[in-house]
Amino acid sequence: MKNLFVGKIRYYLVFFGVICAFGSVGGRLVWLQVWNADKFTQIATDARKKIVTIKARRGDIVDSKGNLLATTRSVVEVGLDPHVVEKEDEPKLKQLAGYLGVGLDEIEKACDKKFFYLNDGTKGRDVRWVKLKENVDEGTYRKIQELRIKGVYGNFKHSRLYPNKRLASHLLGFVNKESLAVMGAERYADYYLTGQDGWRESEKDGRRREMPQHRSFEMRSKDGLNVELSIDRRVQDLVEKEISSLVDDYSPESVSIIVSDPKSGFVHALGNYPNFDPNKFNSSEMANQRNRALSDVYEPGSTFKIVSVGGAMNEGLINEDDIIDCAQSTFLSGRRTMRLPSDHNPLGKISVSKVVQKSSNRGAARLGILLGKERLYQYSQAFGFGSKTGFGIGGEREGTLHHPSRWDGLTIATLPIGHAVSATPIQVHSAMSSVANDGILMKPQFISRVFDKTGKTVVPFRPKPVRRVLSSTVSKKLSEMLVSVVSEEGTARRASIEGFPVAGKTGTTQKIIDGKYSNRHHVASFSGYFPANDPKVCLTIVVDEPKMGQGRLGYGGVVAAPSFQRLGKEIAAYWGLRGYDQSKELASYQESGSRYNTIK
């Protein structure tokens, strides 16, 4: 039968063909299921497994009263899959464009973008996601979902929101699109604010949808902690309104204002012009993001005189009633006769207290000479000049304070009046605060505590003394001299606040333009505190190049002192500070003392 129907050759060909076919299939199965079992099992598992990252919510930033300064909101990134969008849904695209606030043509282009094309024009892989808009609020996304457009969906994510817009922008900083904290409190307290992401492991079906019943592992996210700043939102608002007023009146290059508690070092407000909106950080100029109170340096001028006067008194070289001859225009340095800086008005022989009150350049220079190079340098360092304050925000500069070995013959006379030294507004502010704080320099801080969602304090930030600069007795005497500066006879009478003894010092500095001191470019400043007998507020105002018009100079007593008065009155009213008659204390101070020694 076999030989009758099938030839011998054909039979064996078919037989060996079937054997080879099944052998090949078997071999392939052995290769897949035995030799490469681990590899392909992993591929199958990865295709089936779904690992979802559960993003932690970033903590909030609040002010000292609990007002929200920075928070995290849930937003949606909306996009579409051009391969899934159906033709019958095209009439709904116009309504989708309206919800998203984008052009209809932009959505139509996204629907047509189905493939990636290589440089040579050949078609590449499929495009399965085209972003239409990010940071869409949940309410708008719900309306989009109601349109039921196939292929249009969103991914939920967290977005940082600054509800007060530009308020305290340099202190808050911002979080960029890559979720990286940039500058300010966001960066300084990033470790506490960030939190810890979680994840969830489950399986997905053929349509890439999660199957909750197959969840095998889940690690919950841990939200970030909250940070409370020492900033008072109301005081910060007053500061920024005053900055706007100064900008409107004088059109300066920049303005910086700092308000703090001199006894603790905690900052209640810090504002700069120009500033920026951290919600729109990517559309603002980089220069506007610079915290000028910490990064801009200038010669402090007369505000620096507290160093030479305080140092000489602290060394016991002079007393507030000693007489200094400000009529002499030269001094002998070794075998060389050096010229002393001049005063605006001839002052003759006056007391040390009058040197401060009248802001005598010659008087301060003679005190610096009396103190000597080494001690003048040491007291300058002790007051915080030439080194960073450690405020905690990036971009702080240490200024310039040269070692005596690098001084020329005139530095000993110019340094005491605030020349040949550069400082930041925060350094000048800290130095003045040390006088208000019985001679103790405090580290300036702007974070009060870190707390959890229940309000429990996790990390407290306490006041940090840096060093004692002056003795308590000397600081009180120097404070009394600074009170006389704000009297009718002083250079800062426009800074007086009715009912409060105010202590402070003006500063008017010529800027160096093209290597020379300019007669037209000035920095006007005032740094002071009140009530002088029990300081609650230390306030520093620095105005760079105020435009006065008619060739007038923008003196610190004309530009910055009135600003101190306006802002001080508003802060005193807001805090409910109680004042008293200042004239009696001034009269008592001016009548005290009877010893007069002449310093030659």
Domain spans, the chain: 2-51, 52-229, 295-501+552-599
Q: Which amino acid, one-letter code, is at 355? A: V
Q: What is d(CA 105, CA 356) in angstroms, rounded to the nearest whole number? A: 71
Percentage of residues in the chain with pLDDT exceeding 90? 53
> Residue 392: which pLDDT band, with cuts at 50, 70 and 90?
confident
Q: What is d(CA 242, CA 24) in angstroms, rounded to the nearest whole number? A: 87
Element (H, E) at 172: helix 169-172
Determine which of 107-111, 113-117, 230-234 has the lowest per-residue pLDDT on average: 113-117
CATH code, 52-229: 3.90.1310.10
Supply the pLDDT for residue 30.
81
CB–CB of 297/290 below 8 Å? no
> Residue 584: which pLDDT band, with cuts at 50, 70 and 90?
very low
> Residue 228: which pLDDT band, with cuts at 50, 70 and 90?
very high
Interval 167-182 mean pLDDT: 90
Interval 150-166 mean pLDDT: 83
Residue 532, CB-side half-sphere exposure with 13 Å CA sphere: 32
Q: Is 155 helix (H, G, I), strand (E, B) or coil?
A: strand
Residue 435 has pLDDT above 60, yes or no: yes
Residue 193 has pLDDT above 90, yes or no: yes
pTM score = 0.81
| Topology adopted by domain 295-501+552-599 | Beta-lactamase (3.40.710)
Helical pair 556-575 and 233-250, crossing angle rounded to 10 deg: 150
Supply the pLDDT for residue 583.
44
Residues near 8 by beta carbon (within 8 Å), at least 6 away in sequence: none
Interval 386-407 mean pLDDT: 92
> Residue 215: which pLDDT band, with cuts at 50, 70 and 90?
low
Name residue 503's beta-bridge partners: 529
Residue 227 has pLDDT above 90, yes or no: yes
Q: What is d(CA 485, CA 160) in angstroms, rounded to the nearest whole number? A: 46
Determine which of 89-98, 293-302, 353-362, 372-381 has the lowest per-residue pLDDT on average: 89-98
Supply the pLDDT for residue 234.
96
Q: What is d(CA 378, CA 240) in angstroms, rounded to the nearest whole number? A: 36
Residue 66 has pLDDT above 70, yes or no: yes
CB–CB of 557/490 below 8 Å? no
Distance from the Cα of residue 152 to its chain's centroid: 39
* pLDDT single digits (tens) 292-348: 999 999 999 999 999 999 999 999 999 999 999 888 888 776 677 778 888 878 888
Supply the pLDDT for residue 395.
85
CA 392-394-395 angle, 5° bins = 125
Supply the pLDDT for residue 29.
80
Q: Is 515 helix (H, G, I), strand (E, B) or coil?
A: coil
Residues near 167 by beta carbon (within 8 Å), at least 6 away in sequence: 69, 233, 236, 237, 240
In this predicted model, which residue has the larger pLDDT, 97 or 428?
A: 428
Interval 216-229 mean pLDDT: 83
Supply the pLDDT for residue 231.
95
Name residue 203's beta-bridge partners: 49, 211
Integer CA distances (angstroms), 400 to 384, 419, 421, 426, in order = 11, 11, 5, 14
* pLDDT single digits (tens) 111-142: 877 776 666 666 667 777 778 887 787 778 88
Supply the pLDDT for residue 209.
54
Supply the pLDDT for residue 533.
92
Supply the pLDDT for residue 5.
62
Supply the pLDDT for residue 242.
96
Query: What b/e sequence results for 201-221 when a residue is b if at least 16 CB atoms lie within 10 Å of its CB, and e otherwise?
Result: ebbeeeeeeeeeeeeeeeeeb
Query: What b/e sequence results for 508-541 when a residue is b if at least 16 CB atoms lie within 10 Å of its CB, and e otherwise?
Result: bbbbeeeeeeeeeebbbbbbbbbbbeebbbbbbb
CB–CB of 252/225 below 8 Å? no
Determine what percent of the chain falls in helix, strand and coil, rounding each to the nearest 5: 40, 25, 35
CB–CB of 275/474 below 8 Å? no
Q: Please, is 504 exposed, middle or buried when counting C-beta atoms within 10 Å of its C-beta (0-12, 13-18, 19+)?
A: buried
Residue 367 has pLDDT above 80, yes or no: yes
Q: What is d(CA 224, CA 219) in angstroms, rounded to the nearest whole number? A: 16
DSSP designation for 79 = E
Query: Mean pLDDT of all residues in the chain?
Result: 85
Phi, psi angle pair for 438, to nearest 5°:
55, 35
CB–CB of 149/96 below 8 Å? yes
> Residue 271: which pLDDT band, with cuts at 50, 70 and 90?
very high
Asked if residue 531 has a cis previous peptide bond (ω within 30° of 0), the answer is yes
Q: What is d(CA 567, CA 578) in angstroms, rounded to the nearest whole number? A: 16
- Sign of torsion over alpha carbons 475, 478, 482, 483: positive
* Maximum separation of any 2 CA atoms in the chain, in Å: 148
Phi, psi angle pair for 456, to nearest 5°:
-75, 135
Interval 475-487 mean pLDDT: 95
In this predicted model, which residue has the larger pLDDT, 191 or 212?
A: 191
Phi, psi angle pair for 159, to nearest 5°:
-135, 140
Query: What b/e sequence results for 254-273 when a residue is b if at least 16 CB atoms lie within 10 Å of its CB, and e otherwise?
Result: bbbbbbbbbbbbbbbbbbbb
> Residue 598: which pLDDT band, with cuts at 50, 70 and 90?
very low
Supply the pLDDT for residue 148.
83
> Residue 51: which pLDDT band, with cuts at 50, 70 and 90?
low
Residues near 362 by beta carbon (within 8 Å), at least 6 away in sequence: 326, 328, 329, 340, 341, 342, 343, 347
Distance from the Cα of residue 476 to its chain's centroid: 33
Q: Which amino acid, one-letter code, is at 12? A: Y
* pLDDT single digits (tens) 404-419: 999 988 899 999 999 9
